[in-house]
Amino acid sequence: MWRLFRQEREDPAPFYRALAAESALDLNHRYGLAGTTVLDAGCGPGWFAEALRDAGATVTGLDGDAETLTFNDPPLPGLLQGDAGLLPFADETFDGVFCSNLLEHARDTQAIFDEMARVLRPGGWGYMSWTNWYSPHGGHDMSPWHLLGPERGSRIYEERYGPPSKNRFGEGLFAVHIGATLRLVRSHPDLEIEQVEPRYWPKLGFICSIPGVREVLTWNCVIRVRKVQQ
């Protein structure tokens, strides 16, 4: 995975297909995907949606970027353009909601979790992963300058190199921290946190319980939730 990640900017497909296969295996083991309906919010070209379908789920993909949705040739069927903070689906539509590396690209973190809770059926599962800001790749193209802070780091980077080709801070990239996100989810009346862990080494989940340390060492944070059954 590390070898593939190092080539991710130039050739993203091998890394994300490998990560998608691993994610589908994990979710199928935890929840059983066969015969379930899943929303892949922030689906990109559909690599994760394809892997989840191979595991037996009926998957609807949604992404806000039309160019990303058509990255594959031909594009994967069943992908829609839309806003994950304002989903075009009825309440309690899905058994699971999967979000891979979505949160740092959303302006409104609260809205993402509100919509996740709304479209999940009672007892349904939610998976949210994102690149937390102070992790090594938190600034995406402008890493490691992001470690100087969101505003200062992005300003210094652009003064030296100009705006990044994509994911410019404040437009397509936002500073999302683990502590603040956990407080938001714990206060949500319809969601229960099942587990918080680093995505690439989940056995070291204790890192996510250490304030400050988790913001740097987690790299990519995963929050697993359940929709409260009322």
Q: What is the tens place of the pLDDT at every residue in 101-129?
A: 999 999 999 999 999 999 999 999 999 99
* pLDDT score at 3: 62
In this prediction, residue 15 has a pLDDT band, given cuts at 50, 70 and 90, of confident
Phi, psi of 122 (to 5 degrees): -55, 130
Residues 6+ apart with CB under 8 A from 53: 59
In this prediction, residue 66 has a pLDDT band, given cuts at 50, 70 and 90, of confident
* pLDDT score at 65: 87
* pLDDT score at 17: 86
**pLDDT over 70, % of the chain:** 94
Q: Which has the minimum average pLDDT: 4-13, 66-75, 81-90?
A: 4-13
Alpha-carbon distance 94 to 125, whole Å?
Answer: 9
Alpha-carbon distance 152 to 95, whole Å?
Answer: 41
* pLDDT score at 32: 97
Q: Which H/E stretch holds residue 162?
A: none
**pLDDT over 90, % of the chain:** 83
Q: What is the tens place of the pLDDT at every residue in 29-48?
A: 999 999 999 999 999 999 99
Sort residue 92 into left (φ over 0), alpha (ψ -120 to 50) or beta: left
* pLDDT score at 11: 60
Give the single-character DSSP code of 85. T
The pairing of beta strand 221-227 with beta strand 191-198: antiparallel
Q: Which has the minimum average pLDDT: 77-86, 111-120, 186-195?
A: 77-86
Please provide the average confidence, as pLDDT, over all residues in the chain. Answer: 92
**Quick check: 187 pLDDT over 60?**
yes
* pLDDT score at 165: 86
**Quick check: 180 pLDDT over 70?**
yes
* pLDDT score at 230: 72
In this prediction, residue 156 has a pLDDT band, given cuts at 50, 70 and 90, of very high
The C-alpha torsion from 113 through 199 and 32 to 228, rounded to 10°, is -30
* pLDDT score at 138: 95
**Quick check: 57 pLDDT over 70?**
yes
Spatial contact of 51 and 23, defined as CB atoms under 8 Å apart: yes
Query: Which residue, among 107, 93, 131, 100, has the nearest Cα to 227 in the 3D structure?
Result: 93
Q: 8: exposed, middle or buried (C-beta count within 10 Å: 0-12, 13-18, 19+)?
A: middle
> How many CB atoms are closer than 10 A to CB 107?
12
Spatial contact of 57 and 33, defined as CB atoms under 8 Å apart: yes
The structural domains of the chain, ordered by start, are 2-132+176-227 (3.40.50.150)
What pTM, to 2 d.p., does this model score? 0.91
Q: Which of the two residues, 89 and 165, has the higher pLDDT score?
A: 89
